[in-house]
Amino acid sequence: MSYPIGIMAAPDPDGGNPFLIVKAHKEFLLAAKLSGFFKVYVCPADLGGRETLALVFAFFDDEDEPLNIRTPLVDDVESRQLLAALKSPSVNVHFFDEHGREFLVYEAEIVVPEVTRGRLDGLKLLGSDFVQAHQNMLHGVATWFGLRTSQDEEEALTVRLVHAPYGESLAIQDARYPLHQHHGAKGYSISMLEREEPGNFQEEDIIKCLAMCFPQSQIYHGPLRTTDKEEICDVLVVTDDRVLIIQAKDSPNVERIAKQKLSRKQTNAMTAFKKAVAQVRGAQSYIKAGNGTLRYILNGEEKSIDISQKQLFAITIIKEVFERESEEYAKILNVLMVERSIPCYVISYGMFYELCYRVHDADKFFQFSEEMVESIKHLQDLPVINFHS
């Protein structure tokens, strides 16, 4: 599971039904579980001036704007295996989250409208590098999907999740020693798909992301203030020249939240963001009051770090950043940055995972972060993040 978010397929070496593998964030997996299906749209795409087809896998948390994963089709083994699986009457669908944890397995049936089967049978795959295809094809595909018609809905494939042989309520415990060496680690972590109290689960996942870029010896989970034993912040990263404050907000990954209207989710995201910014203010005040010494409590022990030569930086991570509210996010961030002289930006958890997965390097992580801050200051808006270009 060493590739990022996406879809792939593989034949069964024993001649049984092919495997369809979905790697996505927990919200996608929950949407599939609750609805009992997902859809695959076969849409027109442009690859360097050449007409071809691409796929959009849609997971219906919202009827009009479902969560989706866009996948180019090029002349390679992976695309051919994916097409073969989608044209099969039955497949085994395996759902993994972004950290490679397998939460759901289904025996599934695929309903393919005849007109769509004809398009797939007649498709001539075009030669291209897969990464270049991502860059060149998917923006147009996103536009098409946003404007899809009732006819497009009728022509989509439907993957019906018929039977879950291992159940749908797995809890996964990870006790691998090398993965739990950050400060404040318990030596293990537990994860599950449905999360009524999401905070600690999300913080553990953020630490897994950070460990792709930073030594675990630099990562602190939930350090407490010595003054009142309240958290300084959710996660702290202390490098040779920086102190990174991370304040995260998530919401329960359960049915009642997944089925909220998009407008409600948008309102909740802004509320969560404002709370995170307020907590960044509190963390900055506490750290500055130490006059170059960061005093904290972890595992019941009071410790201190000399941070007199280190720059403060902050990131707020929320479940989803809504583009239509981007100017409001930027306005709030710019007020914080002027008042407190601390660089800060907001990013969705999904994009944060993509960042850490793709850079795997502390210097590049901060280079991206500094570019985000400068863009927010200059544009008075949030920049569009596109890791495929």
Instruction: Check if the beta carbon of residue 112 is closer than 8 Å to that of residue 86.
Output: yes
Per DSSP (E only), the strands in 209-252 are 219-221, 235-238, 242-249
d(CA 299, CA 319): 28
Mean pLDDT of 299-310: 96
Model pTM score: 0.93
Task: Provide, rounded to the nearest whole percent, the portion of the chain with pLDDT above 90.
Answer: 87
Cα–Cα distance between 342 and 232 in angstroms, integer?
16
Residue 62, pLDDT above cutoff 90: no
Taking residues 86-90, report their average pLDDT. Answer: 97
CA distance 62 to 37: 13
Q: Which amino acid is at 175?
A: A
Helix axes 362-379, 326-340, angle to 10 degrees: 100
CA nearest to 287, candidates 243, 323, 250: 243
Model confidence at 1: pLDDT above 50? no
- Give, in order, the Cα–Cα distances in Å from 380 to each of 155, 178, 329, 335, 376: 42, 42, 9, 11, 5
